[in-house]
Homo-oligomer: A and B are copies of this chain.
């Protein structure tokens, strides 16, 4: 046995070589599979948007929106203008390029002419950069709303540094600008990046007012055509979604209003699901936890579920084998 083992160890490179001889064959099989009709590949010269670069832009813009918080170097009165200017200069091109790549990718794929892609890319980047002061103002209201409603927040700075809700809302407020300008891919790459980081899934199409707060946030879903007013607060696991979809829903319902409207000053507690494009939650209403709503609610209404009855028993019964009752 130990001789065998020794022999095996010595021959490790030769085992590797034996298997590696198949690499050309494996490679050709993969390439052949790329030629099959309907196969998803992006094999052509036109550049495509880069997820990695879009993620870089999300974090770099965050440093412009909350100056000094996320830099490793100090930002002070003496270098402020240089650093902000340098950052704007670099990011402006980076964002414009990604938008241009996205527009061209679609032009190419759908055989459209690509006359204005460059101009449109820069034009859209300009719109976003010009919006930064207003974005800063709105995000300030969001930070205040997060603080005012959360006893566990020890400072506004802690919220900016670490709250997933603020990161998700920040990313949404950037992504929705690009979405409204009909930039392909990038808004959704941004929002799905924030979803990955925070567990909060806000489609870039959603419209959301000032002073929006999401606490904890994991499992929150806010659909494409949702409309949310001012000073709304939601908790983990809240879905603002579409009603059930017929089998061909993808094509039939694309672009239609499918998600609810939440008016000003509404609070929605954890685990609640509100569905449907005609569902309106009236201003100042409070929706309790674990509610399932598919109908409108008038303003100033409190909605709670009649909690399911609980059964209490001695937990000794669990010691019986295969007790499955309480799962």
Contact = CB atoms under 8 A, between A and B. Distances in A.
Interface string A280-299: 00001110111111100100
A249 to B, nearest CB: 6
Contact of A306 (B48, B125, B309, B318): B309
B80 A43 contact: yes
Given A286-B315, A301-B315, A309-B305, A27 B85 contact: yes
Contact of A162 (B23, B92, B185, B216): B185
Contacts of A253: 151
Contacts of A49: 161
Contacts of A284: 315
Given A20-B89, A161-B188, A321-B246, A285 B254 contact: no
Interface in A73-102: 74-77, 80-81, 84-85, 88-89, 92-93, 96
A85 to B, nearest CB: 4
Contact of A324 (B29, B92, B189, B243): B243
Interface string A192-221: 110111110101010000000000101101
A309 to B, nearest CB: 4
Contacts of A197: 196
A75 B314 CA distance: 50
A223 to B, nearest CB: 7
Given A19-B122, A286-B318, A302 B273 contact: no
Contacts of A126: 19, 22, 26
Contacts of A42: 66-69, 75, 157
B312 A301 contact: yes
A12 B68 contact: no
Contacts of A44: 68, 74, 76-77
Given A33-B137, A68-B48, A244-B324, A184 B154 contact: yes
B52 A67 contact: no
B311 A188 contact: no
Contacts of A221: 216, 218, 236, 270
A93 to B, nearest CB: 7
A221 to B, nearest CB: 5
Contact of A92 (B23, B41, B160, B322): B23
Given A105-B157, A162-B191, A244-B326, 10 more contacts: A8-B119, A27-B88, A29-B130, A32-B133, A34-B80, A34-B136, A44-B74, A244-B323, A271-B271, A302-B317
